[in-house]
Structure 1
Amino acid sequence: MTGQPGTDLLPDQLLRDFVEASDTLLCIVDGSGRLLFTNPALQRFTGRTEEELAGVHFWEVFVVPEHIALSQDAVARAMATGVAHPQEGDWLTGAGERRRVAMRNTVMVDGAGRPYAIGCIGLDVTDERRREAQLHLRAQTDLLTGIANRGALFDALRAQLEDGPGCALLFCDLDRFKDVNDEHGHAVGDALLAEMARRMSELAGPGDLVARFGGDEFVILCPGWERADLQTLADRVVEATREPFPGPRGPLEIGVSVGVAVGRPGDTADELITRADRAMYGEKTHPHRGAARARRAGDVY
C-alpha cells in the first residue's frame, strides 16, 4: 500500500519541485552580481531562458535604470558585511513593464563562514501597492467634492510646519449657503459645494492644496507664498464666489468670507487653523463686503 502522492520523494526532489512550481521570483547571484540561479517564475518575468540569464549581472536584466547604482552598492555591502536587508523596488519585465517587487535577501556563506553569494526571494506586490494607494487616496479625499478632506489637510500642514519652511492658509467660509440649502434642499446645496470646490481648485497654484474643512468651509494651503500673491488669491476667491451658481429655478448667489494666516516652522496645525479661522470670522462680521473683506485678512500676516 502506497502513501499520498509525493510522500516517497527525497528532500532534494521535493525542493526542486517546490522551486519549479513557486510563483515567487527566486534567484541567486554571486559576489559580483552575476546570476547563478533563476527559477521558472523569474524566467517568465524576464522573458529569458535559464541559459540566457546565467552569468549576466542581474541589474542588466530587471533592475530599473535609476536603481542600478543602488543595487550594485547593496551587493557590495552584503558581501562585505554578511548581512542583506529586505528591500522593495521597481523591476522591469521582459516587455518593459514596471512592477513593484518586495525582496527578502539572504547572504550565503561557505563552510568557513565567508560570503559567496546572495539569495533573493522576490514577491510581485504591484497590485497590492496600487490597492493600498487607492485606499489611502479615498481616505484623504472628500467624497462629495473630490478635493482633499480635513485629514489630508492636517497631514499636509504638519509636513509644512514640522518638517518644512512653513506655509500660508486661506480659510474660506461661504455666506448665505444655509439659506440656499434650506430653500432648495441638500442636493442643490451639495452641487453648489462641488462647484465651489472646482472653482477654488482652478484658482489655486500648482503647489497649493485645496481642502474641504467641513460643511461649507474650505481651505487653501499655500506652501510657497508672497504677501501680494495671498492677497490676489483671496480677492480672486471672493470674485469667483460672486459669480452665480446654477440652481433649479435660476442662478443662485452666495458670498464668501476669507481669512488669511501665515504659519512659521514650529507652529502647530491647530494654531494656524485657529488664526485663519479667527481672521475669517473678523471678515464675516465686518460691515463692508467684497474685496475689502479679503484685504482686511492681511491683518494676520
Structure 2
Amino acid sequence: MTVQPEAGLLPDQLLRDFVEASDTLLCIVDGGGRILLTNPALQRFTGRTGEDLVGRRFWEVFVVPEHVALAQDAVTRAMASGIAHPQEGDWLTGAGERRRVAMRNTVLTDGEGRPYAVGCVGLDVTDERRREALLHLRAQTDLLTGIPNRGALFDAIRARLEDGHGCALLFCDLDRFKSVNDEHGHAVGDALLAETARRMAALAGPGDLVARFGGDEFVILCPGCEQADLETLAEQVVAEVCAPFPGPEGPLSIGVSVGVAVGRPGDTADDLIGRADRAMYGAKAHPHRRASRPRRAGG
C-alpha cells in the first residue's frame, strides 16, 4: 500500500525531513574529500555546526589519524571506479572519544554517469562490537580459573603453527588432586585449581599462554622451542605446584607431572597436544623425573 504524503508536503521536503530526523551519521563528500552535506546526527557527533563542517576534508574532522590514508584512498578509488565498498573504522567525536562506525558508501553520479561525490551512511556500532568482544572473551575463558580454556588454546596453537615460527607445549596433569577433592569437597578443589592457574600464569613469559585443558589438566603454550628454557619452565612448574596450598584444616599438598613437546613442520594442534600428553604420561610413570629434566616427546 502506498501512503500519500500529507497535503502540501512535497517529496523534497519528505527527504529533508528524513535526513534531519535520522540518527545515522549522514555525510556527502566530493572527490577531494571535502564535506558537502551533513545531517544533525553527524553534527552532534562532531560537535560542529553544519556550516562549520561544509568545505572541510572529512578525514581532518572525524577520522582517527591511523585511518586517514585509508580514507583518502577509499575516496580516490570510489571516484575512479564508480564503486564504493562498505567499510568499518574508528571515528573521533568532538570530545575526542573513539567510536566504531560501520559505513555504507554510495558513489553519486551526474546525468552522464560521471562520479561527482560519495555519500556515506554511518552507524555507530561501538557498543555492539564491545558486546561481541565480551561474548567472545567469555567463550574463550575458563570460568573457574579465569584463564583461557581448551578452545582458546587450540586456536592459539593453530595460529602459532601456521605462522611458521614454531612453538612448544608443557602438558601439566595434577597428581593427588582427586584425593584432595574427594576428602575436602569440590569448593576446596575448585580453589586449588584456581590457585594452580594463578601460579602457572605467574611463571609464564609475556608470549606464553596458560590454559586449562580440562579437569585438573593445564597447558602452557610457549612461542620458543629452546629445550633448556622449556626444561627450566617445567622445573619451575613442578616446584610451584608442589608448594603447599592453604586448606580448611591446614596446608594441602599435591604434585604435577609435566610432558614437553615441540612443534614440527606440518604438525596439527592435535598432533602437538597428543605428543605432549604422551610425554606427560611418561613422566607420571617415572615419578622421579617429575621435578627433573622433562623428556622431549619424540613420537
TM-score range, shorter chain: over 0.9
Q: Is the 8 A contact 1:165 1:264 kept in 2?
A: no
Cα offsets for 1:21-74 (capped at 9, x unmatched): 110000000000000000000000000001100000000000000111111111
Which residue of structure 1 aligns with residue 89 of structure 2?
Answer: 89
Q: Partner amino acid for 2:211?
A: A
Following superposition, which runs of at least 4 residues in structure 1 exceed 4 angstroms of deviation?
3-8
Q: Which runs of 5+ in 1 are unaligned?
A: none
Give how far 1:9 is off.
Answer: 2.2
Flag the 1:30–1:299 CA change in 2: closer, same or farther, 3 A: closer
Which residue of structure 2 aligns with residue 105 of structure 1?
Answer: 105
Q: Is the 8 A contact 1:105 1:121 kept in 2?
A: yes
3-state secondary structure, aligned to 2:213 = strand
Which residue of structure 2 aligns with residue 72 of structure 1?
Answer: 72
Cα offsets for 1:101-128 (capped at 9, x unmatched): 0000001111111110000000000000
Flag the 1:266–1:299 CA change in 2: closer, same or farther, 3 A: closer
3-state secondary structure, aligned to 1:273 = helix
| 1:16-27 equivalences in 2 (<5 Å) | 16-27=16-27
Q: Partner amino acid for 2:147?
A: I
3-state secondary structure, aligned to 1:228 = helix
| 1:38-187 equivalences in 2 (<5 Å) | 38-187=38-187
Matched residues in 2 for 1:87 and 1:73: separation? 12
Q: Is the 8 A contact 2:278 2:297 kept in 1?
A: no
Give how far 1:161 is off.
Answer: 1.4
Give how far 1:8 is off.
Answer: 5.6
Give how far 1:12 is off.
Answer: 1.2
3-state secondary structure, aligned to 1:288 = helix
Matched residues in 2 for 1:133 and 1:265: separation? 32
Matched residues in 2 for 1:141 and 1:33: separation? 44
Which residue of structure 2 aligns with residue 240 of structure 1?
Answer: 240
Flag the 1:177–1:117 CA change in 2: closer, same or farther, 3 A: same
Give how far 1:77 is off.
Answer: 0.7
Matched residues in 1 for 2:119 and 2:7: separation? 27
Matched residues in 2 for 1:135 and 1:167: separation? 28
1:298 aligns with 2:296: yes
3-state secondary structure, aligned to 1:134 = helix
Q: Which runs of 5+ in 2 are unaligned?
A: none
Matched residues in 1 for 2:7 and 2:269: separation? 63
Flag the 1:281–1:59 CA change in 2: closer, same or farther, 3 A: same
Q: Is the 8 A contact 1:33 1:75 kept in 2?
A: yes
Flag the 1:126–1:7 CA change in 2: closer, same or farther, 3 A: farther
Give how far 1:223 is off.
Answer: 1.5
Flag the 1:5–1:261 CA change in 2: closer, same or farther, 3 A: same
Give how far 1:289 is off.
Answer: 4.9
Which residue of structure 1 aligns with residue 267 of structure 2?
Answer: 267
Q: Is the 8 A contact 2:82 2:115 kept in 1?
A: yes
| 1:199-214 equivalences in 2 (<5 Å) | 199-214=199-214
TM-score by length of 1: 0.95
Which residue of structure 2 aligns with residue 11 of structure 1?
Answer: 11
Give how far 1:157 is off.
Answer: 0.9
Q: Partner amino acid for 1:58?
A: F
Give how far 1:268 is off.
Answer: 0.5
Matched residues in 1 for 2:190 and 2:102: separation? 43
Give how far 1:11 is off.
Answer: 1.4
Matched residues in 1 for 2:134 and 2:151: separation? 16
Q: Is the 8 A contact 2:166 2:225 kept in 1?
A: no
Q: Is the 8 A contact 1:260 1:300 kept in 2?
A: no
Q: Partner amino acid for 1:109?
A: T
3-state secondary structure, aligned to 2:294 = helix
Q: Is the 8 A contact 2:46 2:94 kept in 1?
A: yes
Q: Is the 8 A contact 1:87 1:103 kept in 2?
A: yes
Give how far 1:78 is off.
Answer: 0.7
Q: Is the 8 A contact 1:231 1:298 kept in 2?
A: no
Matched residues in 1 for 2:130 and 2:197: separation? 26
Q: Partner amino acid for 1:36?
A: L
Q: Is the 8 A contact 1:160 1:265 kept in 2?
A: no
Give how far 1:162 is off.
Answer: 2.5
Q: Partner amino acid for 2:294?
A: R
